[in-house]
Structure formats: structure tokens, C-alpha cells
């Protein structure tokens, strides 16, 4: 029995040694500094392309628990190291597409039609859909997946609905991290569907390669297209539902947006935003829309703008995370937490102005920081 135990231990040590040697041969260090079996298991599932592991990994990076946040960072670091070795430092072999538009434009139907079109061409498609969270209960319906029942059954597709959790800009705070995990799982096309409320839903433009705006065939006039914000951020505008009785209004809408785009400031020197019409129902215009997206990626990659854009986006989201975490640090300060209820009461009664109350809390926070230094 002792001899059998000895051989088992020897085999285990040999396995671990061979695994470390494989990592060294690949040019990366050991992925995990801690002995966390959960993170190792999720990592193996993601790299192995298993959808349940990817779903568990995204749940981990969305968690706000302090221990799980550390696990998520370890997981993301390991996946990034693997991606850098397997592909290239900037992963330009993947394509990140952001889709937004007002409610009722058929975003989910369009994504399903586009996803099925891509999987038929042997692409692996991941869809990250963001649903608005209730300001009263904090809950989300997460119903986008039910609208994509055909795509959700496709083995080459992955659909994940996530709550916005109060984040502004139409995307969740950890959507950027979810994109990294999807790329680690081998998905070459990542589509992000935003909440889609109005003119401010373009935070997704800072995490994708191409920003696509979906508009209805009867959504205003040329003046609506001239509004700053979401329209001038778009790399491609698609007039959806261009079929049946809406075909003539769709043609007029395409002409009006094409005219409006000429008056807006260009975001790129090498790409002029296009306006196309299509129908998610009849699939007419869908291949042309995908060809235009591929043309955009090719032009941006050859010029080097795609790599520069991704580098800039990484720093943008670093500062976004800092802004979000600063509020948590502020509220956890002992001086602030001890006085915040009283100051809120005085502001509510009108004894203090909101600005004066904020100044008092900031002063208490600075005093707390100085006391900790001492």
C-alpha cells in the first residue's frame, strides 16, 4: 500500500511538473500564484472552449465580493497571458462589434440573424446583452436571450445577458472583462448589445472596434440625425425593418441619414461612416452589412488604427474603474460613515446646501486619510 501511495504521489508531481514545463515552453509563467482550485477549473474550462465555464467566469468577474474580485483578477490575468502567446499582443484576429439603438428597432432580432449568418460561415459568435436594472429593486428581466432562441441553440454561439447595475452609458461595468474571457474561449466575433435608451448610450464605443447604430424606418427626420452624441459616434448606421409597408419609409430614412452624416465631424481620416438598410426578417441587406463591417475592420487593421484604438480603450476603462471604486473607498472611510447619516438629514431639512454637505464629507474623508497615514 505504501508503494502504491508512493507511485501516486510521484505521478502527481510529474503531472504538475509537465504542466509547468508546458507553460514555460509557451513563454508564460505559471498562471496562478494562489492554490485556488476554483479559478484553475474555470480557467481550464474557458481555454477549452466550454460554454458553462465561460458563463461561470463572467459571473465571477461581475461579482462585487472582495474575495471573488481577487479571483476574477487572477483569472483575467491568466487568460490575457494565454491570449498574448496564442494569438498576438493586441488580438486583432478578433472583431468586437457594439450594437445600439432605441427600443423597438429590432436589435435582438438583428443580432440573431447576423449571428446565424456568421456561424454558417464557421465563425464563433459571443453575444453580450445588457439589460437595464430597476432603480427600485435592482433586478433585471434579462430577457434578450429568449428573443434569440435559434442562436442560443447554436453550438458555435454563446449568449450572455447581464444587468446594468446602474451603470450609465448602456453597458455593464464589467462588460469589458467579459469580452476578454470570450476571446479566451475562442470566440472570434463578440457582439455587445447595449440597453438602447437614447442619445447617451455610446459608452460601448470605448470597448469595441466598430460601433453600429440601429435606427427604425420611421424615427424622426433629418434634424434628428443631426443631433450630436450617438449619431456622430457611429461607424455604421443600419436602417432596420426595411420590408413590407416600411420599405418606402426606410428608403427615405436612409437618404436623410446619409445627408445628415455629411454635415457631422468625421471621427476617422480613413473611414467615412455608411448608412445601409436591411431587414432582419427577410435577411435582405444582411450580407452587405456584414461585408461593410469586414471592410471597416480590414481598413482599420491595415492602417494600424485598430491597435491604437484598443490601446486607448484600455486606458479609458482603467480610469472608469478608478472612478467607480473611488466612491466605494469614500463611503468605507470611518469618518464619512459615522457622519453621513447626520449630514444627509441636515441637507434634507435644508439646514445645509448639497454643496456644503459634500464639502463637509470630503473634509472628513481627508482627515481620515491623514489619520491613517499617522
The greatest distance separating any two alpha carbons of the chain, rounded to the nearest whole angstrom, comes to 84
pLDDT at 36 over 70: no
Please tell me what DSSP assigns to residue 213. E
Rounded distance, CA 89 to CA 185, Å?
Answer: 16
Look at residue 14 in the predicted model and tell me its pLDDT.
42
Distance (Å, whole) CA 1 – CA 9: 12
CATH classification number, 24-85, choose in 1.20.5.170, 3.20.20.80, 1.10.1740.110, 3.10.105.10:
1.20.5.170
Segments making up each domain of the chain, as ranges: 24-85, 95-303, 314-373
Cβ–Cβ < 8 Å for 287, 117: yes
Torsion of CA 88, 94, 95, 96, to 10 degrees: -80
Pick the range with the lowest mean pLDDT from 40-49, 79-88, 176-185, 321-330: 79-88
Q: pLDDT by residue (tens digit) across 97-106?
A: 999 888 788 8
Looking at the domain covering 95-303, what would its CATH class be?
Answer: alpha beta
Correct CATH for 314-373 of 1.10.287, 3.40.50, 1.25.40, 1.10.10: 1.10.287
Q: How many CB atoms lie within 10 A of CB 334?
A: 12
pLDDT in tens, 188-245: 999 998 876 554 456 777 889 999 999 888 765 544 544 556 788 889 999 999 988 8
Q: How far is CA 227 from CA 197, 200, 220, 231, 260, in A?
A: 15, 11, 11, 7, 9
Separation between Cα atoms, residue 104 and residue 196, nearest integer Å: 9
pTM (two decimals): 0.80
Write down the pLDDT at residue 11.
Answer: 45
Separation CA 195–CA 361 (nearest Å): 34
pLDDT > 50? residue 16: no
CA 59, CA 134: separation in Å to the nearest integer? 19
Interatomic CA distance for residues 112 and 104, integer angstroms = 15
Amino acid at each position: 500500500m505504501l508503494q502504491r501511495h508512493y507511485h501516486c504521489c510521484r505521478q502527481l508531481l510529474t503531472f504538475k511538473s509537465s504542466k509547468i514545463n508546458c507553460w514555460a515552453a509557451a513563454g508564460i509563467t505559471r498562471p496562478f500564484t494562489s492554490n485556488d482550485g476554483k479559478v484553475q477549473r474555470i480557467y481550464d474550462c474557458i481555454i477549452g472552449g466550454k460554454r458553462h465555464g465561460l458563463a461561470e467566469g463572467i459571473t465571477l468577474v461581475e461579482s462585487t465580493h472582495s474575495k471573488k474580485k481577487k479571483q476574477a483578477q487572477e483569472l483575467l490575468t491568466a487568460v490575457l497571458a494565454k491570449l498574448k502567446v496564442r494569438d498576438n499582443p493586441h488580438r486583432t484576429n478578433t472583431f468586437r462589434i457594439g450594437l445600439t439603438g432605441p427600443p423597438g428597432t429590432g436589435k435582438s432580432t438583428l443580432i440573431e440573424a447576423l449571428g446565424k449568418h456568421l456561424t454558417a460561415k464557421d465563425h464563433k459568435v459571443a453575444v453580450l446583452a445588457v439589460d437595464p436594472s430597476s432603480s427600485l429593486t435592482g433586478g433585471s428581466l434579462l430577457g434578450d436571450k429568449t428573443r434569440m432562441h435559434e442562436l442560443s441553440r447554436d453550438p458555435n454561439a454563446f449568449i450572455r445577458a447581464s444587468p446594468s447595475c446602474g451603470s450609465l452609458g448602456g453597458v455593464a461595468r464589467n462588460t469589458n472583462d467579459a469580452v476578454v474571457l470570450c476571446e479566451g474561449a475562442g470566440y472570434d466575433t463578440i457582439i455587445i448589445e447595449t440597453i438602447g435608451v437614447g442619445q447617451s448610450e455610446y459608452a460601448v464605443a470605448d470597448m469595441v472596434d466598430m460601433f453600429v447604430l440601429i435606427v427604425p424606418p420611421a424615427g424622426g427626420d433629418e434634424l434628428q440625425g443631426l443631433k450630436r452624441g450617438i449619431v456622430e459616434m457611429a461607424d455604421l448606421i443600419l436602417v432596420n425593418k426595411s420590408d413590407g409597408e416600411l420599405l418606402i419609409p426606410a428608403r427615405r430614412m436612409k437618404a436623410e441619414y446619409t445627408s445628415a452624416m455629411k454635415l457631422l465631424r468625421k471621427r476617422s481620416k480613413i473611414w467615412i461612416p455608411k448608412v445601409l438598410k436591411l431587414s432582419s426578417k427577410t435577411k435582405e441587406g444582411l450580407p452587405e452589412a456584414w461585408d461593410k463591417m469586414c471592410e471597416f475592420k480590414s481598413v482599420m487593421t491595415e492602417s494600424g488604427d485598430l491597435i491604437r484604438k484598443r490601446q486607448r480603450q484600455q486606458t479609458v476603462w482603467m480610469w472608469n474603474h478608478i472612478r467607480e471604486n473611488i466612491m466605494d473607498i469614500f463611503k468605507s472611510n470611518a469618518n464619512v460613515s459615522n457622519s453621513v447619516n447626520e449630514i444627509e438629514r441636515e441637507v434634507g431639512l435644508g439646514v445645509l446646501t448639497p454643496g456644503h454637505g459634500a464639502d463637509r464629507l470630503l473634509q472628513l474623508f481627508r482627515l481620515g486619510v491623514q489619520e491613517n497615514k499617522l
